[in-house]
Homo-oligomer: A and B are copies of this chain.
Amino acid sequence: MDIGIIGGSGYTGGELLRLLAGHPDANVVAVTSRSRKGQKISDTHTHIRKIFDLNFEDLNAEEVASRSDIVFTAVPHGTAMHIVPALLDAGVKVIDLSADYRLRSDVFERVYKIKHADPRQAVYGIPELHPEVADQNFIANPGCYPTGASLAAAPLASAGLIELAVFDSKSGISGAGAEPTRVSHYPNMAENIQAYKLTTHRHRAEIIQELSRLDGSLSKISFTPHVIPSIRGILTTAHIFVKNELSEEEIGRIYHNFYKDKPFIRLIRGIPVLGSVRGSNFCDIGFEIEKDSRRIVIISALDNLVKGASGQAIQNMNLMLGLPETKGLWTPGIAP
C-alpha cells in the first residue's frame, strides 16, 4: 500500500524509511519536509542512498492524503494536531508519532502547556497493551520511555500487585533528535551519563495513564530519565515494590501469561542488554526478586527508535491494515 510520511527529516523519519525498505507491502510515495524541499532524502538520510530515490516535498495534508493509504506524522509536538484532522477527513489511516494524541486533551494541555486544537481521541499504540489497535484508523504512537516502562510493569499492574514503582530509565542520545545541542556534544556526552528532568519529565504522564488504566488504584509512580553515551536504546530499571512477597516462579508465570502471544516481547532469564535489541522491534524483559522483601527489579531493553518509535508505528500499521503483526519487522537486532 501507499505510504506518506509527513515530517521526514528527523531520526524517526529516517528510521521509518529504513524499516519500510524491508517491508514487502510498503510503497513510500511522499516524504515531506518544508525546510529541505527539493533535496534528495538520501542527502539527509545517507544510509538509504540507492534504496530510496525520492526528494523531500513540501506538501499539505490533503496532498499527502490524496496519494496515500496510510500516513505517518513525524512532526513536533503541537504541530500534529493541526495536520491530523485533515488527513482523517480525507479518509486515510493515520499514525501520529508526536505526543499530541497520546494523553487525554486536558492532561496534554497541563503537561505540554499547549492548548489542544482537536478534541479527537486516539488509541494509544502499544499493541501488547491495546489489542483494539487492530480496528483503528488513527493511532497515537507512544513515547519511547513509556513503552519501556509500561511493558516492564504492565503484567504486575494488571494483576493489581504494585504498591510503588520507581522507573529509572537510561536512554541513548538519539532520542533527543538530530539537531546538535550542548547535551549531545560528544565531549559532554562521552564518558558521562546525564540525568535530567529528575521529577518532571513529560513522559511520566503516559506511564501513569497506561499503568493506572491496568490498575485504577495505582498512583505511586516515579520516573527519572538519563541519557547515556549510546546512540540507541532504552534500558529501564523498574524498582517495583509489591503488595506482598512473590516468588520468582509466581512472577515468571504472571509475565509469561501476560505476554504469551506477543511476538515482540522476549522474556529472558538473566538481564536484558541493549546489544540484543539494537535496530530491532523486540523488547527484552528480565527480572530479579529481592529476597525476604517486597521489592522486584525488572529490566526492559528496547531500541528507542524502533520499538520506542518507528518500529512500533509499523507494528501498529500492520495491525490497522490487517497484515501479520510482524510483517517487515521480523528482523534480528544488529549485534555486536
Chain A positions near chain B (C-beta within 8 angstroms): 11, 14, 17-18, 21-22, 45-51, 166, 168, 170, 172-174, 178-182, 184-196, 198-200, 222, 224, 226, 228-233, 235, 237, 239, 263, 266, 268, 271, 273-280, 282, 284, 287-291, 293, 295, 297, 299, 330-336
Contacts and interface: CB of A to CB of B under 8 A. Distances in A.
Contacts of A199: 288-291, 293, 295, 297
Contacts of A276: 46-47, 49
A287 B198 CA distance: 8
Nearest to A22: B331
A14 B194 CA distance: 21
A11 B336 CA distance: 7
Contact of A191 (B231, B268, B295): B231
A233 B188 CA distance: 14
Contacts of A48: 332
A74 to B, nearest CB: 15
A334 B289 CA distance: 36
Contacts of A22: 22, 331
9 contacts: A17-B332, A168-B168, A170-B228, A178-B185, A188-B273, A192-B233, A192-B274, A195-B297, A199-B293
Given A185-B186, A191-B232, A237-B168, A196 B271 contact: yes
A86 to B, nearest CB: 30
Q: How many copies does the complex hold?
A: 4
Contacts of A239: 166, 168, 222, 224, 239
A220 to B, nearest CB: 9
A264 to B, nearest CB: 9
Contact of A336 (B178, B268, B274): B178
A297 B224 contact: yes
Given A192-B273, A198-B271, 7 more contacts: A11-B336, A47-B278, A47-B335, A166-B239, A170-B226, A186-B190, A190-B231
Nearest to A189: B186
Tell me which of A182, A287, A297 has the highest count of chain B C-beta atoms within 10 A of its own C-beta: A297
Contacts of A268: 49
Contacts of A185: 178-180, 184-186
B194 A173 contact: no
B47 A195 contact: no
Given A17-B332, A47-B335, A173 B186 contact: yes
Given A198-B271, A332-B51, A190 B193 contact: no
Contacts of A198: 237, 271, 287-288, 297, 299
Given A50-B282, A198-B297, A230 B193 contact: yes
Contacts of A47: 275-278, 280, 332-335
Contact of A18 (B11, B230, B263, B334): B334
B335 A193 contact: no
Contacts of A291: 199-200
